[in-house]
Structure 1
Amino acid sequence: MKPTLQTLAIAAVVATTPGAQAADGQFQLLVLAMPTKYHYEYIPVARESFEKLAKLHAFDMTWVAQPWAFEGDLSKYAAVVLLNSSGEEFNEAQRAGLERYMKAGGNAVVVHRAIISKPGLWPWYEKLVGRSFVIHPMLQTAVVTKADASHPATFGLPDPWLWSDEWYEFSNPHGVTIHPVLTVDERSYDPTKIWPGQVAKGMGADHPVAWWQAYEKGRVFVTALGHAGVMYRDERYLDHLWGGIWWAATGLGRPAK
């Protein structure tokens, strides 16, 4: 019998109680992976892959299923990863904790669903992400190209790269300047292919799907890619994600702008 979302959520909370490994790696990373209605099956797959990445690349990781850690001291973490886990789920204390962390020079990685936040709920978080989610068509295969081949998040990828995902469409209500890393070619898929009652029009030639920016006193890396659980076993996607994490945590691998 297939486990229910509630069962998986309970299991995830139990399995991901905060507890950092011994701090002998090159840096410490906090990963938040919250089970939600549309994103929960990826969690055990992603956690296994992240644990392998931690061993391979010699970093220490704390994996949590709820954002309680953001109420405490985050200063030991070189970066925090919001893995399909949006700041819209944070309470006031947790929001304040993330803001303190970034203002003190902390760094963030925002992955896929974590981009989405209810407009006006937490403007500071919307600015951290850099773009606001509008809608996405049905999952399709498309051509991804490198907008910034000097960024580590592109080093393990072919150019062009054939990838299948939800191609999020964005707006920029806060006028944030971002630095695109990857873009999707809308000529390679149908931006209007969507469910009845919804309308997607695409973004045209300027359609970033991964980017970086400086925010407060830290670095932010954002990727809209990573919808399905199986993606977290794909070596190219993991190279992309690891490159973004490594850059956010260390600032290494590319010239600063």
Structure 2
Amino acid sequence: MKRLLPCLLLLLLACLPAFAQGQFKVLVVAIPNQYHHDYTVVAKPQFEQMSRRHGFDMDWAWNNSAFDGDLSRYAAIVLLNTPGDALQKPQREKLQAYVRAGGGIVAVHRALIFNPAGDWPWFEKLIGRAFRIHPMVQTATVRVRDPAFPATFGLPARWTWSDEWYEFGEPLLPGLSTVLSVDEASYDPTRIWPGQVARGMGAEHPVAWYHAYDGGRVFVTALGHTPAAYDDRLYLDHLYGGLWWAATGKGIDAENANSTPAPAPSPHRRAALR
């Protein structure tokens, strides 16, 4: 019996990795830049806690080298304040192949700005709208536009939030489903630095949306400028709802959805959905 116990213990330890595996695996890419760097200190432990709470596996990347590896093992890639211009041409091609194979993308705040505009049209269409400008950080009222989408499940119908209120041009392609919008009457769209001009977008000012694109699923949120945002439970629930959908295609309340859900993962993407 004494000899049997060590063998049973070793067998149990050998099985632990299988039990520790999450429901899917995510790559979070958080490349610091001139205006977005302090947030990473707060965001990384919060994403690690999020992965433990919701039972998914996560890799964290501080630079673009992750795009040199195998992306097919990830059910979704989170571009956390990381724009497409941070990728080199071969890495851009790998990201395109990943999406075309059914991969999910979550684009957060700074990821929505591509410089120079027109250099990578595919990525700009992946985001869905072209950034124009933003006023100074202000408190405003965010309105839930699609209560059937997971990124809104934890939010009140009217949400007080402080951020940079990005302005966008017209949609670059059809099929964008607005999740959240900001009420421009609740802040001053013209409050900006000397020499710059911002006028707002009017009654329709989206700040989060989702769509099916080139075989994959894309969730986009313009929210997330301040480091304090990544310590806010409502904001983290907003991010996870979008991430869950991008990774799995699940969570949309079909009876109340205001658009057609994106396609389910292709067969060769299901390996990432454990």
TM-score, with structure 1 as normaliser:
0.90
Q: For 1:193 and 1:44, how far apart are their aligned partners in 2?
A: 29
Q: Which residue of the other structure, out of 110, 113, 117, is the alignment partner of 1:116?
A: 113
Deviations 1:17-38 (A, max 9, x none): xxxx987100000000001110
Encode CA deviations 1:222-257: one digit per residue, 9 max, x unaligned: 000000111100011001011110111111111343
Q: Is residue 146 from structure 1 mapped to residue 129 from structure 2 by the alignment?
A: no
Q: Does 1:50 align with 2:42?
A: no
What is the aligned counterpart of 2:157 among 156, 159, 184? 159
Show structure 1 runs of 5+ residues with no match: 1-20
Q: Secondary structure at the match of 1:194?
A: coil
1:250 paired residue among 236, 248, 255: 248
Of 21, 26, 39, the residue aligned with 1:24 is 21
The aligned amino acid for 2:226 is A
Superposed CA deviations along residues 18-71 of structure 1, whole A, max 9, x for unmatched, are: xxx987100000000001110000001000100000111010000001111212
Q: Distance in 2 between matches of 1:134 and 1:122?
A: 16
Give the Å deviation of 1:173. Answer: 6.6
Q: Which whole-Å CA distance do the structure 2 matches of 1:94 and 1:238 have between them?
A: 28
Letter in 2 for 1:157: L
- Measure how far apart 1:175 and its partner are: 3.6
Point out where structure 2 has 5 or more consecutive residues left out of the alignment: 1-16, 255-259, 262-274
Instruction: Tell me the residue number matched to 1:203.
Output: 201
- Please list, as runs of the form range in 1=range in 2, the aligned pairs for 1:69-218 lying within 5 A after superposition: 69-118=66-115, 119-172=117-170, 174-218=172-216
* Aligned-residue offset at 1:187: 0.6
| Partners of 1:188 and 1:95 in 2: CA distance | 39
Fraction of identical pairs, as percent = 58
Q: Tell me the C-alpha RMSD between the 2 structures.
A: 1.3
Kept in 1, the 8 Å contact 2:140–2:160? The answer is yes
Shift of 1:89: 1.2
Does 1:65 pair with 2:62? yes
Counterparts of 1:173 and 1:248, CA distance in 2: 20
SS of residue matched to 1:239: helix
Q: Distance in 1 between matches of 2:55 and 2:173?
A: 38
Per mean C-alpha deviation after superposition, the further-off stretch among 165-174 and 141-150 is: 165-174
1:10 maps to none
Residue 172 of structure 1 deviates from its aligned partner by 3.0
| Counterpart position of 2:266 | none
Query: Which has the larger displacement, 172-181 or 209-218?
Result: 172-181
The structure 1 residue matched to 2:37, chosen from 35, 40, 47, is 40
Output the CA distance in 1 between the equivalents of 2:156 and 2:150: 13
TM-score, structure 2 normalization: 0.84
The separation in 2 between residues aligned to 1:151 and 1:235, in whole angstroms, is: 18
Alignment of 1:221 onto 2:212? no
Give the structure with higher Rg (CA): 2
Give the number of the structure with larger relative contact order, counting CA–CA contacts within 8 Å between residues 6 or more apart. 2
Runs of 4+ in structure 1 over 2 Å off: 172-177
Q: Is the 8 A contact 1:130 1:177 kept in 2?
A: no
Count of residue correspondences: 237
Greater alpha carbon shift after TM alignment, 174-183 vs 70-79: 174-183
- The question of whether the paired residues in 1 share the 8 Å contact of 2:245 and 2:251 is answered with yes
Q: Note if contact 1:72-1:97 (Cα within 8 Å) is conserved in structure 2.
A: no
Amino acid at match of 2:130: S
* Aligned-partner SS, 1:197: coil
